[in-house]
Each structure stands twice: as C-alpha cells, then as structure tokens.
Amino acid sequence: MNRKRALIADTFCLTKRRRCAADSVTGDSQDGAADIRSSLKYLVTLFSRKLFNDSLPPVVLKHQLYSLHNDKTAVDKQVVRSDCFRPTYKYSSWQSVPDHFIITVTHSEALVFSLPRQNELRENGELLMFQLGFDSEAFALVFAEDYRAKVLQGEAGRGTLGTVEKFLAKLIPSCSDLSFNKEKMLKEFLFTDSEITQLVKSGVLTVRDAGSWWLSIPNSGKFIKYFIKGRKAVLGMVKKSKYGEILKTELEGRRTTSQVKFQMKYHIHDIIGAELVECIQTTSGTLLRHVDGNVN
C-alpha cells in the first residue's frame, strides 16, 4: 500500500522548485487570494504602459509571482487549474467515506482525495490568463477589467466591435479557459464561423490548431519581443558579473541598456520566478547567481 501511495504521489503531484521570495509584498509572504492580488497589483506597477502608448493592458507573467511567494502551489491555486490531487483522508469502512473522488481502494481501506477549489481569482472573473507563444510554460496574467478596457479601446470605430463586445460578455463573467474549440464557440457561445473569423482578425483569438483558438492579447507581439530581449540582456549582466553573481540591490540600480525596455525590477522578478538565477541569502542581501546551462 505504501508503494502504491508513492506511485500515486509521483504521478499526480508536481515537484517543488526552488523559490526566492526576496521582495514579499505582504511582508510574511502569505498566499491567500488577497495576498496574490496584492502581489499582482505590485507587479502591474512595474509594467511600462508608455512603452506601448497605453494600448496594452498591464501584463504580469505567472512565474513572476513565484519570486514573491515561496509556495508555488498556493499561487497556482489562485490562478491556474491544478491537476495535482493530494491524498487527504484514509477510511477503514465504506460507510464513513464522504463524497470525495476515490483514487485507490484495498480490501481494508480507501485512499480518498479531496478536490479543493482552484483558480479562485480566475473563476470569479477577476483575472484572465494567456498562453504566450515563446515558451510553453510562460503564461500572462491580466486583470479582466484592464483587458476589457484596452480591447474595446482598440476596437473603437471598427466593424468587429459588436462581435468583440459579445465575446467579452461571454468571457469575463465566468470563463477561465485558455483556449476554445469550435464546438464550444458554436454551441455554447453561439458564435457563427464568420464571427469567429472576426475575433481572430481583432486579435482576441489566435489559431491554436485546426478548429481551436487561444485566448489572446491584441497587439502583444511587441511586448513579447521586448520582454525576451530584456530578459537576455539582464541575464547577461548577471553572467558577466564577477563569479557570475551579483547582489539583487546592485542589479536593480544598474542603468538599463537599449535592450532593456522594462523596469529592471520587472525583469528581476522574471528571472527569479523562472529560476534562471539562483537566490542566495547573504548578510549584504540577496545574491543572484547565474544558473549554468540555461539558454534563455
């Protein structure tokens, strides 16, 4: 039985990764919905709106939150749909088993898995998440109202405005999907093929494959271009420092180059959360050490 439990845990649960909550917004690095929201709002202040003539909603990368919160699972609970089921109870009789999802059963006991509520900030319509094309694990987070405002701002006076408004009305109240297949778009959202084409043209959808589409941020190509260039430049600064390491405070004070369009702190939260650098606590503060072998 012990071996079976180990196999289940290995199969269904994500392994923990090193975290560096060096700049906890909440001070004690709490991980409830309110605390994750506070962290998101802080990271939003680091987004350079003027860089895009205020045409894009503020974008936060999901992994940037990991630089502010030690518990990745707690962060994901608020913003993503988790596939990690955790065993919570063991019962010796069927009569006492509550209405949970049972994974394994023996003659003497049942191993029961609870299904806690997930992606709270997205399920209540407050937050949207997007798959970014440059990395399969890169997800953008945008507050729903910011997304609505910028999309409608960009659609003003266009023939696709009515269709986009209809899509936003379906999307924001309760939808937490990253992508949509044709059946859902036609039968649940009640869009026609022509209207789907209009949504792709407007940029709120991008083609995923035949018959399915990613939820998208219109005109986000420039953001991705600047973000990737900035990440490489900041990582280069760390790598070229003596011994390939630098104090976080020193890096924050560095003058940005032409390759770094965002605030330095925005990129620092990126490279820490994505584990492209290792965090080492010293008496002088947090030391960032370049991770050998990363190709970003």
Spatial strand order in the sheet of 86-91:
86-91, 110-114, 101-105
**277 in helix, strand or coil?**
strand
Residues 71-101: pLDDT tens digits?
A: 888 888 888 754 433 344 444 444 444 444 4
Which pLDDT belongs to residue 18?
44
Residues 149-200: pLDDT tens digits?
A: 999 999 999 999 999 999 999 888 777 789 999 999 999 999 999 999 999 9
Domain boundaries, the chain: 235-290
Residues 234, 260: contact at Cβ < 8 Å?
yes
Instruction: Give whole-number Cα distances, 101 to 44, 105, 116, 117, 201, in Å.
Output: 38, 11, 11, 14, 42
Residues 38-70: pLDDT tens digits?
A: 999 999 999 999 999 999 999 999 999 999 998
Q: What are the CB-based long-range contacts (under 8 Å, 24+) for 52-55?
A: 52/219, 52/222, 52/223, 55/150, 55/153, 55/154, 55/219
Give residue 190's region: left, alpha or beta (phi > 0; psi -120 to 50).
Answer: left
Lowest mean pLDDT, pick from 114-123, 223-232, 262-271: 114-123
Which pLDDT belongs to residue 28?
43
**Who contacts 168 (Cβ-Cβ below 8 Å, separation ≥6)?**
148, 151, 152, 204
Q: Is the pLDDT of residue 137 over 90?
A: no
Which pLDDT belongs to residue 263?
94
Total-model pTM: 0.77
Question: Is the pLDDT higher at 135 or at 247?
Answer: 247
Which pLDDT belongs to residue 81?
53
Q: Is the pLDDT of residue 10 over 70?
A: no
Residue 124 DSSP label: T
**Who contacts 67 (Cβ-Cβ below 8 Å, separation ≥6)?**
19, 20, 21, 22, 23, 268, 269, 270, 272, 273
Question: Is the pLDDT higher at 105 or at 136?
Answer: 136
Which pLDDT belongs to residue 153?
96
Residues 209-263: pLDDT tens digits?
A: 999 999 999 999 999 999 999 999 999 999 999 999 999 999 999 888 889 999 9
